[in-house]
Structure formats: structure tokens, C-alpha cells
Homo-oligomer: A and B are copies of this chain.
Amino acid sequence: MEIQIPLVVSAVAGGAEHSKIPLVMLLVFGSAKLLAEVCQRVKQPGLVGEILAGIILGPSVLGWVAPDEMITTLAELGVMFLLFRVGLEIKASELLQVGITATLVATLGVLLPFALGWGILVWWGGSSIEALFVGAAMVATSVGITARVLATQGVLQARASRVILAAAVIDDVLGLLILAVVSSAAQRSINILGLVATAVFAIGFTLGVAFWGTKTVGRVVARAEDHLHLAEGQFVLALCLLFGLALLAVYAGVAAIIGAFLAGITVAESVTHRVHELTQGVTELLVPFFLVGIGLHFDVAAFATPSTLVLAVVILLAAILSKLLGCALGAVRLGRADALRIGIGMVPRGEVGMVVAQIGLGLAVIPQGVFAVVVFMSIMTTLIAPPLLNWAYRDVEAATTTWHAQAKPRPEKGPKFRD
């Protein structure tokens, strides 16, 4: 008769299986927040720590967590809620006001990185299709990263921030079209009519929701509490809208997060404070999975050859400079300070650049080494931009938003409900 407590217990309760969810939650959420705390103590943005947590948990250092279906699901939900939460702070009219500048910023911020990425790969000796894919990956902008930094600083409503958000939406549509052309080229079947239809569909969806959705839908959601018997009726309707528009966005060919962002804008003026707080709870829980998920893709082992390492450094520098210059040039009429903020804000490639690289890998048109280079570029731009953004916004006064008001709340003992 032996004593094997943990084994007995595991066998009986299906321990290994049952421990997975709390274990992964504790590891990912706990380490992300621990490193965020460390970063904030040295006056760096917390989200840099959360991405670093992913790098440490991932294959390069500990190898404890893999980006499996659980992590991926929570990460995708996390970035959807993040963009929804950001949308809640923005009025549609505020975005449309800066439409022309944003279009200019997005266009130049797409052309320069694409051209430079393509050129570097041709110089390096890559095939023309490899060059096109790297160019397409350089185009991407991860609005989630920048939005998180701006929201935490309480400067979402500043003019430069509104230009960044609007430009990021346009950037996503343009990036989609470039990816469509490049993918078609890779498969040697360019369908011009199909591409035009995709473009019309994506642009029509975005503008349609932005212009037309706010009033009608907002009114319905606002009156939810009068007509529904459900508890938290406004929150429930807002979430249905979030998932519904995210789905439509995917069908229209743009990213789910664009739909989530539009859903947030749509209900921004009609929901109560409570909906902001309930959404904030979900966002705080899930966003670390999005950030750790980015870090998990970092793999030093992929830089096997010195030639790949050189390419990685060159591509990284090109990615930073081309986006910064292109976007700043587009916003130059707003003055040097705002142009710089906008340029820096568009630099992070985050998960979007990685998705492009993954499609290229899936179509077998880019080799593993080039894939690693693009992932490296995506992660490094995402780590470098937030501290620069903090610095560029140092003079902008923080507005009082639900987010910022709570960024450092006073330790108050809330009303106790059982007393």
C-alpha cells in the first residue's frame, strides 16, 4: 500500500485536465501583471511588461505556455473587447472630422513601408513574391497596442489620437486590399473584379456603420432597460452588437476588431456608465492574453543564420522609419508635435503583421527564415513604440475618461452591500 496522494487525486478527479484552465490563467494573467507592475515602476508602459511575459513564457526562455486554442480564443476576445472599449470613448463625428488627414496619413503610411519592405527583400535576394509579402506585412498597424497606451494615459480624445484611430481603420482596409493582391499574385490568379468588389464591400461596410449605424442602433440600446426584463439589458445588447458587427466585419473582409471598434462607437453616446464598467472588467481580464499571445510567438531559435539576423535588423529599422516618416508626412499640416505623435502611434505592427506572415507561410511562398524576420519586426515595433508614445504625449493633458479616472483610483472603501 503506497501513498501517492497527488496521483490518486489526479486519477480520480481527472486532475491534469481539470488543472489546465486555472493553471494557464494564473501563469499568463499573473506573470503579465507582475511584469507590467515592474515596467510601471521604472516608468515604462505596463503593456511592454505583458508582452515580455509572453516572450519569457514562450519557446525562447521557459517554454511553459504554447499559443494553443485556449490562449488564442482569449487573446482574440481580448483584442475585440479592447477595441470595443476604445470605441466607447469616441464619437463617430470626432473621427469623421479628421477624415481627410487620416486618409492622407494612412495612404502614405501604407505606401512607404510597402515600397521599402519590397525593396529590401529584392536587395537581399528574395524572390519577387517574398518581397511582396514582406512589403504587405510592413503595411499593417496594430491599433490595439496604440489604443491601449493612449487609453491608459487618458489622451484618447486628443486630436492626434483621433487621427491615429481613424487612420488605423483606413490602414486596415488598405492592408486588406494589398494582402488580397499579393495573395492572388502568389496563386497566379489575379481576379480584378473580385478585388474591386472586396474593396467596395469593405469600405461600404465601414462607412455605412460609421455614418448610419450610430443613431438608430444607439437609440435601441439606450432604451433597453425600459423594454427588457433581462438584468443588465444595455450591456447584453451592446455585447450582441459587438459580436454581430465583428462577424459582419469578417464577412466584409476586414478584421473582426474593426467591427468591434465600430460597435463601441455606435453605442458610445447611448449607454450608461455601468456598461463602461462591466466592459472594463472583461477588458482587464482578457487583454493580457492578447499581449502575452504576441510575445509567445517570439522564437530566438529561428535566427539560425547571420544573414537572417542582418535582414531582421534592417527590416526592423525600415519598418520603424518608413511608418514614422510616411504617417508624419501625411499629418504635417497639424504641426510638428502632432505629426510626430501620429507617426509613432502607427509604428506597432503587433498581431497584424504576424497574420500576414502566417498567410505567406501557409501559401508556402515565404521561407521559415523570412517568417521569423517578420515576427521579430512585429514584436519589436510593438515593444519600442509605447515608450516613445508616452514621451511624445508627455505635454498632452489627460482627459477624465472612465478609463483614466480609474487608472490610479484612490483607495476608497466602497459601499458595503451587506451592511
Contact = CB atoms under 8 A, between A and B. Distances in A.
A250 B417 contact: no
A334 interface: no
A253 B179 contact: no
A6 interface: yes
Integer count of this chain's copies in the complex: 2
Contacts of A405: 417
A61 interface: no
A359 B413 contact: no
Interface residues of A, number: 111
A71 to B, nearest CB: 10
Interface stretch (A7-15, A100-108, A118-126, A338-346): A7-15
Given A40-B230, A280-B281, 12 more contacts: A3-B194, A8-B194, A12-B183, A12-B184, A19-B247, A30-B244, A73-B73, A89-B417, A235-B284, A276-B417, A277-B277, A400-B417
B282 A13 contact: no
B77 A251 contact: no
A98 to B, nearest CB: 16
Contacts of A410: 225
Interface string A266-281: 0001011110111111
A10 to B, nearest CB: 9
A188 interface: no
The CB with the most chain B CB atoms within 10 A, among A22, A246, A278, A401, is that of: A22
The CB with the most chain B CB atoms within 10 A, among A13, A192, A269, A413, is that of: A13
Interface string A210-252: 0000000000001101101111100110011001101100111
A180 B12 contact: yes
A176 interface: yes
A187 B29 CA distance: 38
A418 interface: yes
23 contacts: A2-B194, A3-B193, A4-B194, A5-B197, A8-B180, A8-B191, A8-B197, A13-B254, A19-B247, A19-B250, A21-B80, A22-B244, A22-B247, A22-B256, A22-B259, A29-B239, A36-B230, A69-B73, A232-B406, A235-B281, A239-B285, A273-B414, A282-B282
Given A77-B25, A281-B282, A411-B223, A15 B418 contact: no
